[in-house]
Amino acid sequence: MKAFDIPEIYKSEFITSIKKGRQENDRMKRDLMPSILDFGKVRIHLARHFGFCYGVENAIEIAYAAINENPGKRIFLLSEIIHNSHVNLALQENGVRFIMDTAGKQLIPWEEINADDVIIIPAFGTTLEMERILKNKGIKQIYYKSKCPFVEKVWTRVSQIADSDYTVIVHGQPDHEETRATFSHSKSVAPSLIIKDMAEALLLADFMMNRRPATDFPEVFRNRYSEGFDATQDLNRIGVVNQTTLLASDTQDIADFLLQTVKEKHGLTESNTSQHFANMKDTLCYATNDNQSAVINMLLMDADLAIVVGGYNSSNSSHLVELCEEKLPTYFISSCDSMVSDQEISHWDIHSRELKTSFSYLPAKEPVVVHLTSGASCPDILIENVIRKLLSYYDLSIDLY
């Protein structure tokens, strides 16, 4: 796999040595159990896979290339390059400005952007509408290749579905940049619809099976279907693609359920399902799969608590939190700064979407056993810093490992 040129500020020699050792001893990635870092009073189970993925490193490399290749020019990102505040802040400190926030709210008016400015497309890609704005502005220097290749893979699948006259069902969070971009590309070539979870898949099945009148469709899926979508016609042949950072099991469950619905609707057998259903199982990002599988295997081991490090608006990080929460107390933090002391921790609640403070999060026992992982947009140095701070509470250090 390509080695990317990313700034040293994101790297950790300690974490790199652990990852390198695992890779050398397990090149086929068959062992998904965590690395066990035993410091005596503290034992850390470090997930087999975590941290920067291919798409994130690619985006960061291109963003810094844009900075280095355009001295004296104004450089803009359409929105956050990835969902990690530390990475985005470092880019801002290098003079990069964001045109929009992650929800699409305009931060810098388009009137202030001119043809000589440099524009970087985030890892999530962007909408066709945004591409037209950039074209109309006559901007000469646009860094498109910062898009994640796995997002582009989804768009390729969308085109394949459209070419075969299927309707595209996008499983994704409607307000997420990647889903907005995928839907924009999808609706330009095929009837398209966004569903966010299994509950909405169940609603969709009601329309597919004519258990609910098509006249209800516009209200149920308001602002999430393509112009001219006809629920009486456009749900006969469907294909499912996904936001690449979602839980693999959720997407699979939704695809399996909709396949069964299609079979029931048309009286199909396994041999002829392709007449009405396009199987698109391979559009989940490999890093999302690897990170989730690593957490699932880590959770087979006992621990006192789990810590997940990542951006609070990171979808893939939030899903790692979901997995851990099913088994044990879990704290979702952005960096070691969230660990106020050995008694107090500030962490993000993915359900209420607010910061909470917990006390006595480290049990009064030895050894304390901690599951530790991070999202695909989290720099390794943040994991090292969390380990160092955790050890400091017990007068320990990484240097002793």
Q: Please provide the size of the chain in residues.
A: 401
Is this structure's pTM higher than 0.75? yes
Task: Find the mean pLDDT for residues 256-263.
Answer: 94
Of residues 310, 270, 297, the one with CA closest to residue 35: 297
- Cβ contacts of 154 within 8 Å, gap of 6 or more: 182, 241, 242, 244, 283
Q: Which CATH number fits domain 54-143: 3.30.360.10, 3.40.50.11270, 2.60.40.10, 3.40.50.720?
A: 3.40.50.11270
- The catalytic residues are 178
* Fold match, 8-53+287-400 / 150-284: yes
Strand partners, 307: 331, 372
Phi, psi of 44 (to 5 degrees): -110, 125
Instruction: Report pLDDT for 400.
Output: 61
Number of H helices, E strands in the chain: 12, 15
Task: Find the mean pLDDT for residues 136-145.
Answer: 90
Strand partners, 305: 370
Q: Is the pLDDT reported for residue 401 higher than 80?
A: no
Report the SS3 class of residue 149.
Answer: helix
Task: Find the mean pLDDT for residues 219-228.
Answer: 97
Q: Please state the domain extents for the chain.
A: 8-53+287-400, 54-143, 150-284
DSSP 259: H
pLDDT digits (tens, 9 = 90+) for 282-317: 666 778 889 999 999 999 999 999 999 999 999 999
Higher pLDDT pick, 281 / 233: 233
pLDDT digits (tens, 9 = 90+) for 185-221: 999 999 999 999 999 999 999 999 999 999 999 999 9
On average, the pLDDT of the chain sits at 93
**Fold observed for domain 150-284:** Cobalt-precorrin-4 Transmethylase; domain 1 (3.40.1010)
What is the enclosing helix (H) or strand (E) of 118?
strand 118-120
Q: Which CATH number fits domain 8-53+287-400: 3.40.50.150, 3.50.50.60, 3.40.1010.20, 3.40.30.10?
A: 3.40.1010.20
pLDDT digits (tens, 9 = 90+) for 73-110: 999 999 999 899 999 999 999 999 999 998 889 999 99
